[in-house]
Structure formats: structure tokens, C-alpha cells
Structure 1
Amino acid sequence: MEDLAHKTIHKTYRGLGTNIYLTAFGSAKVSDLDDSYALLQAYETALTVNRSTSELMDVNDAAGIKPVAVSDSTYQLTKLAIKTSQENFGFNALIGPLVKLWKIGFSGANVPPKEAIASQLSLIDPTQVELDDDKFTIFLKQAGMQLDLGAIAKGYIADRIQDLWAAKGISSGMINLGGNLLLKGLAPHHPDGLWRIGIQDPFTKRGNSILSVKYGPCSAVTSGIYERLLKTNGKTYHHILDPKTGYPHENNLASVTVFTKTSVQAEIETTRLFFADGPQPDWQPTSEVYGAIFITKDRTIQICGLEPADVFLLDDSFKLEFK
């Protein structure tokens, strides 16, 4: 009889501007993964700002003119993003005008004039968004404002794929949206049932891990300064812009990885911890946020909330610290 618990279905797709890797164990079928990809495409069609038409582009095109009604899911995700943005810790769903000014990671990247940066700061104010819970409408009050959910959408979509898998009876699998990981259930290919999660070396090409972490069901998401850079006049600028200053946020961190219950929470927490400039003395794991890994520019790895026995250093040129 076939060992269904260890049966593996895997497919690779392209979406959200990245590679999508879906792996399911047990009795899952290829059609289940295709359904998952179709769900992803539907959300991308609604949420993208990289096409001329989408629900979000309708909102942006009407900035300063009128409210726009959107679907339930787009409205609820926007509401979460705006609420989070109003906490003013660095996450900002309206930062699009600044991103397009710098263009870091895209052709035409440049250091904008101070005056140009200053002129955009009024357009990224999250208090200038009007949400109507009855009509599901979004209104950007100033012309030129732009709503961009790219910093939170992958996590939201990963969570919705997990919901689909639960409805289909898929008890374990890996949802990898361009490095945004969601690990569902136990890992049937390991006797201890724990997943092995590689932590990217921020100083080398993608795919090189410096740590391996054993962990149960979770989402693992990393924010780093190493993939989208602008080098000019002897200086290097990364793409994580500070909405308070309009410039890349400067600290000693190369990357932050968080382990959370939901993937959308991981997206938020990586930003929160990056702008906190490292682990805080009073940081404690919660029922939603399990642990975090900070990698500094001086090659120190700081571990919070994870057991030393579950963390394996793969490159001894890094210094390992448990907080």
C-alpha cells in the first residue's frame, strides 16, 4: 500500500513578481496546487499596482476625486494595512510616491533632490485615507496619493492558500511565495515532524544559508537590505524607506527574520523589528509572534525566542548570540 503521509506533490509557478513554490503532502492532487495558484492570481489581479488596471489602481486613479468601492478581501486587507501604518513604526502602505521617486531596484534609480523628497512626504500620510465599512469604499483624500499593499499582500495570500488547503483536507505542506514561507502542519519527511528552515546569508547570493532552524508549523518571513540596492558616489542606499524622513532607514541590521502564526503578521513584524533597530531588552514571544533572528552588518546573529538546540550555524564566520 502507498505511504500517503509521505507522498509529495510539488509545482513551481510564476506570480507576484517572483517564483512560487507549492509543496503538499499526503493525498493532495496536482489540481489542488493549480487551484491554489488560481487563487493567488485572482488576488494578484485585484491587488497589483504594476498593471494599468486593478482594484487598487482604481483607488489610486481616483485619489483626491472620489471614494472607490472594492471587494471584501481588498477592503479588509487595506483596512489592516492602514491601521498598521497609523501606528507609525515604519510600515506605510502609502509609501508608493517615495518608492517611485527613488526607484531603487528598478531602472532609473537615483538619489532624489531633498526638495523632491520633502514634497512627497505629505502624500504618504496614512491619516489621509477614508474607509467606509458599510460601503467597502476607499478614498485617498489627496491627489497623487498611492495605495500599495506589496509589503503585506504576499503574507495575506499565503494565509488564504493555507485556508484553501484546510478546506481541501491538506494537512501539511509548504507555501513559498518568493521566500515568504508558510509551513502547514507537521513535516512528514522528518521523524521529529519539524521543518528545516534555512536563513539566507545577507552577504552572498540568494540560496546560501547561514543558519538552519528546526521549527513546527509557522510562517517565516525575512526583510533585508541586500537584494535591492543603489550604489552611487561611493555610497550605498537600500530600498527600505523611512516614511518619517523619506530616506532609507539606517541602522546596523542586514536582515530580520520572524517566525509567526500567520504570514500576514510576519510581514508586519519584520518591518516593525527592522525599524526598532534590533532586539529590544523587553522582547518576549507571544501566541502570534514566536521568535526572531537579527543579522547585523558586522556579522553577528542575534536569536530571540528560539531554543539553542533548534538552531544550527552553518557558517562559523558569524558570531551567534541568544537574547
Structure 2
Amino acid sequence: MLNYRRFVVLLLALLLALLAAGCGLANFTTPKPYKETQFLMDTIIEITAYGPGSEQAVKAAFGEFKRIHDLANQFDPNSQLAKINDQAGKSKVSVDPELVHLLKRAKELSAQVEGAFDFSIGPLTELWGIGRKGDFVPTQAEINALLPLVDYRLVEVDEVHNTVYLPKPGMRLDLGGIAKGYATDKAVEKLKAMGVKSALVNAGGNVRVIGVKPDGAPWRIGIQHPRRSEDIIAKLALTDWDTLQTSGDYQRFIERNGVRYAHILDPRTGRQPQEVASVTVALNNSTDGDVLSTALFVLGVERGMQLLQKFPGVEAVFVTQDGRVVTTPGLAGKIEITGK
């Protein structure tokens, strides 16, 4: 009994000493994070994972980003997407089944959002070349000449033979509005398959989480102010969703004669929407979130709200050009508006 008491006293003394040295009990129970950052898919991607094997899982997740990038990068002449574009109006192109799957989903989503997102927008994004042509702004005549080439309904995706065909010469696919979200989903699948129970993936505004934070609290994500890069305009805890996706006019844009021209185009007009500065959607799928945030940005607040009625469970935060923050009814009491 005496030895046992001495053991208890010594153990308590040790714990007190550790606490006095600033080493709390949480240090013994909280798994250490592994964090890695890479520049892929034209953005900064950061993955943080907790628990055993997290380093290997994170590296495998980055492998998914690179794999999808190589598959769907229209600027790489060796990519399958570039080959589809090169053969527009000429012949069908055999591609990997995964690319067929992605294109089929892009076509379905384009229809669901009534063309506000259109993955055949390539001729227009190439014409504008935001980020690649200085402050170039095309004429209305140049835009009008390309509008007939933008129509997702014309894209022929053959799931049986794994081929894709663009029937008009000059058509070009651009998966910039869906590939990053799809890659995020694939990266999360890889993390989960390798046993990760707690993680956060941030792919340039595309945020998806696994589980809760190591301390048991939900992940709480800030939404950037579209005009003040150091400020957060709202915060949302991901309790009902695992994905927060943002599209905005503040990361890739040019300014000419005091006018801002962002990289997001309305496929129907070939020009930049002017009502909102950013749109954030909360849901449980990054692929769909990538498309929906873009479509809502194009449609604006009123028409965007109407569209969301077709997507139960998806919530949105609109920040207008004049700084108003408009949220869907499902976010009432769940979102904190931190700035104006």
C-alpha cells in the first residue's frame, strides 16, 4: 500500500511539473498534424491531416490533384482534354473512362443550372485570356463571333466507347469550373481510404473537411472579404456540410480604365457578370459545389436563389458588388456575419 501511495504521489507531482512547464494534457492526446502545400491546378492547395499515417495519406491526396490536373489541363498539349479540343470538327477522341465520367457530370450540371455554367466555354476563356494577356479586353464583335461555339448540348460524350466529339471546328472545352472540385473530392476519398479521420483540404477557396477537429469541435471556416484580402466577411461552422466552395472576382482579374474584368464569364453573353463579388456555397460535394458557386455568381442573387430550389440542402452566401451579404434561409442562426 505504501509503494502504491508513493507511486500516486510521484505521478501527481510529475503531472503538476509538466503543467507548470506549459505542457497540458492535450499534448498527450491530440494527434500531431501533417500539413503540406503545393501549387497545382493554377492555385495554392493546402492539406492538413491528423493521426497515424497522415503524411503518406496527404502525399497520396496530392497525387490525386496532379493526376486530375494532367488529365483535364487544356493548356497541356499532351493532355486528353487538349486532344479533344484539337480534334474539334474533325473526329472523335478516345479518352480514359474517368474523363468521360467527369465530362458527363459536367454536361448534367450544365443542364441543371440552365447554362449558367457551360464547360464548352473554352473559346471565350481563351479569347479573354485573363491572367495571360495583360489588360487585353476583346471587342464585342470578337465575342459575338465565338458565342455560337459555346453550347454544352452539342458535346457528344459516348460512355460505351469512351469517346468525346466536338462537332464544330473551333469548339473548346474548359474544365476550370469543375476539375478542381472533382480533384478535391478524389483527394478526400484517398485520405479516407488511408484511414484519415480528421483533415482539411483547401484548394484555393475550395474547402472540404473530414470529420471534426482533433479536439472534437466542428471545423469553422471563414469567408474572405472580396474587397479586403486580410478581412473575413463571415464565418460558418461545417456541422451540416463538409464542403464550402467560393467563386469570386478577386483572385484572377484585370483592371482597365477603372473597370474590373474577372475570369468568370457568363457563357451566354461572353462577358463578366456585374452583380456579385463572391458566392460561397455550403454542401457535401466539391464537384457540384465548384459548378454551383460559378453558376450562382453568373446568375446573381434573385435568380440564384430561384435556382437553389432545385438543390435541396445546398446553402449560399452572396456578397454583392456594393458590399451587401445575402444568405439563403437555411443559414439563419448558423452563420456569423463578421464584416461589411
TM-score for the superposition, normalised by structure 1: 0.89
Q: Percent identity?
A: 31
Q: Give the superposed CA RMSD.
A: 2.3
Superposed CA offset, 1:242-290 (max 9, x none): 1211221232x11110001110111121123223311566677888643
Tell me which residue corresponds to 1:290.
314
Looking at secondary structure, tell me which structure has more helix per residue: 2
* CA–CA distance in structure 2, aligned partners of residues 245 and 307 of structure 1: 32
Question: Given the alignment, which residue of 65, 70, 75 partners 1:45?
Answer: 70
User: Is 1:97 the counterpart of 2:120 in the alignment?
Assistant: no
Tell me which residue corresponds to 2:297.
274
Question: Given the alignment, which residue of 190, 198, 219 partners 1:195?
Answer: 219
Tell me which residue corresponds to 2:99.
74
How far the C-alpha of 1:5 sits from its partner, in A, is 5.2
Which structure 2 residue ranges, 5 or more long, are not aligned?
Answer: 1-24
Tell me which residue corresponds to 1:259.
282
Which structure 1 residue ranges, 5 or more long, are not aligned?
Answer: 319-323
* CA–CA distance in structure 2, aligned partners of residues 83 and 306 of structure 1: 25
* Greater alpha carbon shift after TM alignment, 195-204 vs 46-55: 46-55
Tell me which residue corresponds to 2:170.
144
Tell me which residue corresponds to 1:183.
209
Q: 1:286 to 1:60 in 2, by over 3 A?
A: closer
Q: 1:59 to 1:204 in 2, by over 3 A?
A: same
Q: 1:134 to 1:286 in 2, by over 3 A?
A: closer
Contact 1:64–1:142, Cα closer than 8 Å, also in 2: yes
How far the C-alpha of 1:138 sits from its partner, in A, is 0.3
SS at match of 1:147: coil
User: Is 1:208 the counterpart of 2:231 in the alignment?
Assistant: yes
How far the C-alpha of 1:134 sits from its partner, in A, is 0.6
SS at match of 1:6: coil
Following TM superposition, the consecutive aligned residue runs of length 4 or more in structure 1 with deviations greater than 4 angstroms are 1-5, 279-288, 305-309
Tell me which residue corresponds to 1:27.
52
* CA–CA distance in structure 1, aligned partners of residues 256 and 228 of structure 2: 20
User: Is 1:174 the counterpart of 2:200 in the alignment?
Assistant: yes
Tell me which residue corresponds to 2:21.
none
Looking at secondary structure, tell me which structure has more strand per residue: 1
How far the C-alpha of 1:233 sits from its partner, in A, is 3.4
TM-score for the superposition, normalised by structure 2: 0.84
How far the C-alpha of 1:33 sits from its partner, in A, is 1.1
How far the C-alpha of 1:308 sits from its partner, in A, is 4.7
SS at match of 2:116: coil
Contact 1:109–1:230, Cα closer than 8 Å, also in 2: yes
Tell me which residue corresponds to 2:19.
none
* CA–CA distance in structure 2, aligned partners of residues 104 and 29 of structure 1: 37
Number of aligned residues: 312
Q: 1:169 to 1:287 in 2, by over 3 A?
A: farther
Tell me which residue corresponds to 1:219.
243
Superposed CA offset, 1:99-130 (max 9, x none): 12122232244221222111101111212211
Tell me which residue corresponds to 1:110.
136
Tell me which residue corresponds to 1:162.
188
Q: 1:103 to 1:295 in 2, by over 3 A?
A: same
